[in-house]
Chain A
Amino acid sequence: MSVRRPLLLASVVLSAGCASSPPVDPVPQSPPQPETATAPRPVGKVAKVPGTKGGVRTDRRGARATPDAPGPTIYKRNGMVYVTGSWLIFGPRTPPAVPLPQSTMPAPNASSKGGPPGPPPMADGSADAPRAPGRSAADHGAGGAARAAGGPPGQTVARELAGVPDLPVAWEFHGGNGIHHTDVWVDAFWMDRTEVTRADYSRFVEDSGYRPPHVSETWAQDGWNWNGSTPPAGTEDHPVVLVSWYDAREYCAWAGKRLPTEAEWQLAALGPWGQSFDYPWGDTYANTHLNHGQMAPPNFDDSDGYLTTAPVGRFPSGESPFGALDMFGNAWEYTADMRVDTWSLMSTTDAPTTAHPAGKRQVRAPEPGLYVAVRGGSYFFDLRPNPGGERHRFLTEIRRKTSGFRCARTESPTDAKEAK
């Protein structure tokens, strides 16, 4: 952040300081509300939201397509986007044998006054003003609408689960591994708007003395290997690849961030409960919205303009509901989670609470494991057959020319280490 806008920077710091002084809201997913009061007036442009017409998503699933639910507000700050807390449902497209109990879907942020608040808009030009200053419970889609109307939330959940086309989030499996259907709560967090670039990673290598991306296999010698901390010429704004999961974790730690959990990744990519899509931009596949490959060998495909990686953010039409770019395609993205095939193996250690009666929050697959869950697909395959999120597993130690990542952060990034 810059000397170009000293006054605005000062106001940001001030508001961040105010945010930490009041008693901490015990609900962890609650965004930094106090900042709103002291934030400067937004002067940034309103974020463009793909797949919308007049602020309304045009390709929402019919059952939840209510004209007054414009979708999540996009907040950006320091290269990150804000992702509100929400329920997610993982699992195949088959209804569960047993409906969820009535109490498993509380109203997210129901305890906060005035609907789910977001972080304040930033006025330093690096952030855009929110499209909607506040949202009602109805913004959560059918479930939210039912709650707003006083309907029993449990029935809403059961209906959505039973109705095949209404599953908020579902995926087909790469490799045919089945998992159990489950729902989880994801607390609010911040996510890098784009994949980590090679320029970013170069700074990390130079600053930390960490190992540069390099693989001593013949296939990596053709334009992939770095020369010390220098990436292949002309690819500085491409996503860094040839990194292992451990490399990705080291970068995120250096940047004052962490890898997103798999649930966080999916929420950021496909949207919140009741509003989620099969693809980041909507429910209809579009070859122009991502850097993809093709199913048949050689799998590479330059019909999108890029045979392999593309500069990050080159496909703004593929923006996710929260504003993240390239969530599908370009490079596979590491998550923090080990790859397990049954979600019941994942840690759900949080005890049930009033806010989270199911007790399932921020699920994590246990370490150690040989494989880590990666999401989003890459330039190397056609992603059309995997609505709901391409999902695969990578060995934690291996460096591939499709393996990239982006980082997440629980706290607001205003005080993050300046990594970009």
Chain B
Amino acid sequence: MALAIWSAVSPPVARAEEPTDAVLIPAGSFTRGSAREPDAPPQKVTLSAFQIGTTEVTIDQFSAFKAAGGYSTRRWWSASGRAWLEGHPDGAGDAARAAGRDGSHPVVAVTYFEAEAYCASVGARLPTEAEWERAACGTDDRRYPWGDTESETARWYAGGKFGNIVRVDTAPASEQAESLRSPDGLLHMAGNVWEWTADHYHATNWGGASGRNPKATPDTPWRSLRGGSYMNLPSYCSCQHREPARPDRVALTIGFRCAWDQP
């Protein structure tokens, strides 16, 4: 079905049945990181143009991937993803996802490997940390996608105190949240669900990544999560906060979105 088309060579994202799409982030330089964060020293980097999903990948989209044989199409999986697949032929998070949410919620309980394979199936890839941060907050030094102030309507944990009942279902990806969009129009870059990025996590010096299209060296067991979730305080959801996670982590707060190279 449509998946077959998506997996054909190049991106451009002609997904008629979907309400949202990808946005083009033009090439340019910006300073990533923040002195507020212990593991994100400010660093000027330059990125080529790329596209990134306006929204997080939804349950429906991920289910279609699975129904179309996503877990048995080896070319969509990396070597480490295939190794993980050996022990999890049906994935990891089905039971966790069956929480009664409608299909327009962001998919959660997906490992890095599954996110990586999904993106490959639509001719995409996971964004690098630098791409993610550029897409989330633009080129100025803002703390959140919409500015520097915390927002009451953002999909993060706010009010009350820890341990009290908070909303367990995540916000529909199609929810109107115009005021919370990033400068480039992306939704839910802060809060809602954590998003996998392609980079390995290093606590210092960005893992040796610098300059043009930086990418961290692969010599740690962790990948970087970005954006915080509906269960996190605002500071975890800032554009600069980084969180280390093993790629096989299955959590009710972790999803992803895809990025495409701009030809």
Residues on A facing B (Cβ under 8 Å): 175, 205, 208-212, 214-217, 225-226, 228, 246, 250, 367-370, 392-398, 400
Interface status of B245 (Cβ within 8 A of chain A): yes
- Taking the nearest CB of chain A, how far is it from the CB of B171, in angstroms? 16
Q: Which residue of A lies closest to B233 (CB)?
A: A217
> Is A368 within 8 A of B244, CB to CB?
no
Interface status of B109 (Cβ within 8 A of chain A): yes
Q: Chain B CB within 10 Å — which of A208, A215, A370, A392 has the most? A: A370
Cα–Cα, bound, A217→B203 (Å) = 19
Choose one: A209, A210, A212, A367; the contact of B250 (CB below 8 Å): A367
Interface residues of A: mostly helix, strand, loop or mixed?
Answer: loop
- Taking the nearest CB of chain A, how far is it from the CB of B244, in angstroms? 5
A-contact bits for B227-242, CB 8 A (1 contact / 0 none): 0010111011010011
Choose one: B109, B203, B232; the contact of A205 (CB below 8 Å): B203
- Taking the nearest CB of chain B, how far is it from the CB of A13, in angstroms? 29
Cα–Cα, bound, A202→B27 (Å) = 40
> Is A368 within 8 A of B250, CB to CB?
yes
Interface status of B21 (Cβ within 8 A of chain A): no
Interface status of B140 (Cβ within 8 A of chain A): no
Residues in A neighbouring B243, C-beta threshold 8 A: 211, 397
Interface status of B204 (Cβ within 8 A of chain A): yes
> Is B203 within 8 A of A209, CB to CB?
yes
> Is A210 within 8 A of B251, CB to CB?
no
Interface status of B253 (Cβ within 8 A of chain A): yes
Q: Which residue of A lies closest to B201 (CB)?
A: A211
Choose one: B37, B231, B244; the contact of A395 (CB below 8 Å): B231
Cα–Cα, bound, A208→B203 (Å) = 9
Cα–Cα, bound, A246→B225 (Å) = 13
Choose one: B233, B235, B244, B249; the contact of A210 (CB below 8 Å): B244
> Is A397 within 8 A of B241, CB to CB?
no
Cα–Cα, bound, A368→B98 (Å) = 12
Cα–Cα, bound, A212→B233 (Å) = 18
Question: Given A226-B38, A368-B96, A368-B252, is A210 in contact with B203 using a C-beta cutoff of 8 Å?
Answer: yes
Residues in B neighbouring A225, C-beta threshold 8 A: 38
> Is A246 within 8 A of B245, CB to CB?
yes
Interface status of B39 (Cβ within 8 A of chain A): yes
> Is B162 within 8 A of A398, CB to CB?
yes
> Is B36 within 8 A of A216, CB to CB?
yes
Q: Chain B CB within 10 Å — which of A175, A226, A393, A395 has the most? A: A395
Residues in A neighbouring B251, C-beta threshold 8 A: 368, 396-397
> Is A370 within 8 A of B220, CB to CB?
no
- Taking the nearest CB of chain A, how far is it from the CB of B235, in angstroms? 4
Choose one: A175, A208, A212; the contact of B38 (CB below 8 Å): A212
Q: Which residue of A lies closest to B168 (CB)?
A: A370
Residues in A neighbouring B37, C-beta threshold 8 A: 214, 216
- Taking the nearest CB of chain A, how far is it from the CB of B26, in angstroms? 29
Residues in B neighbouring A211, C-beta threshold 8 A: 38-39, 201, 203, 242-244
Q: Which residue of A lies closest to B157 (CB)?
A: A395
> Is A393 within 8 A of B163, CB to CB?
yes
**Interchain residue pairs with CB less than 8 A apart (19):** A175-B163, A208-B220, A209-B204, A209-B220, A210-B244, A211-B39, A211-B244, A216-B37, A217-B233, A217-B235, A228-B38, A246-B245, A246-B249, A368-B96, A395-B231, A397-B231, A398-B162, A398-B231, A398-B233
Residues in B neighbouring A246, C-beta threshold 8 A: 244-245, 249
Residues in B neighbouring A215, C-beta threshold 8 A: 235
Residues in A neighbouring B222, C-beta threshold 8 A: 210
Cα–Cα, bound, A369→B252 (Å) = 7
- Taking the nearest CB of chain A, how far is it from the CB of B141, in angstroms? 15
- Taking the nearest CB of chain A, how far is it from the CB of B10, in angstroms? 35
- Taking the nearest CB of chain B, how far is it from the CB of A341, in angstroms? 13
A-contact bits for B196-214, CB 8 A (1 contact / 0 none): 0000011110000000000
Interface status of B12 (Cβ within 8 A of chain A): no
Cα–Cα, bound, A370→B232 (Å) = 11
Choose one: B38, B231, B232; the contact of A214 (CB below 8 Å): B38
Q: 6 tightest A-B contacts by CB? A: A216-B235, A214-B38, A216-B36, A368-B250, A217-B235, A211-B203
Residues in B neighbouring A395, C-beta threshold 8 A: 162, 231-232
> Is A397 within 8 A of B162, CB to CB?
no
Cα–Cα, bound, A210→B238 (Å) = 20
> Is A398 within 8 A of B232, CB to CB?
yes
Residues in A neighbouring B242, C-beta threshold 8 A: 211
Interface status of B42 (Cβ within 8 A of chain A): no
Residues from 112 to 142 in B contacting A, C-beta threshold 8 Å: none
Q: Which residue of A lies closest to B249 (CB)?
A: A246
- Taking the nearest CB of chain A, how far is it from the CB of B66, in angstroms? 18
Q: Which residue of B lies closest to A366 (CB)?
A: B95
Cα–Cα, bound, A175→B163 (Å) = 9
Q: Which residue of A lies closest to B244 (CB)?
A: A211
Cα–Cα, bound, A397→B193 (Å) = 12
Q: Which residue of B lies closest to A393 (CB)?
A: B163
A-contact bits for B129-167, CB 8 A (1 contact / 0 none): 000000000000000000000000000000000110000
Interface status of B93 (Cβ within 8 A of chain A): yes
Residues in A neighbouring B252, C-beta threshold 8 A: 368-370
Question: Given A397-B229, A398-B232, is A368 in contact with B109 using a C-beta cutoff of 8 Å?
Answer: yes
- Taking the nearest CB of chain A, how far is it from the CB of B181, in angstroms? 23
Q: Chain A CB within 10 Å — which of B38, B162, B236, B252 has the most? A: B38
Cα–Cα, bound, A383→B244 (Å) = 33
Residues from 95 to 115 in B contacting A, C-beta threshold 8 Å: 96, 109
Residues in A neighbouring B249, C-beta threshold 8 A: 246
Cα–Cα, bound, A47→B252 (Å) = 45
Cα–Cα, bound, A106→B15 (Å) = 63
> Is B203 within 8 A of A212, CB to CB?
yes
Question: Given A205-B203, A216-B238, is A370 in contact with B250 using a C-beta cutoff of 8 Å?
Answer: no
Cα–Cα, bound, A394→B201 (Å) = 24
Q: Chain B CB within 10 Å — which of A209, A210, A228, A395 has the most? A: A209
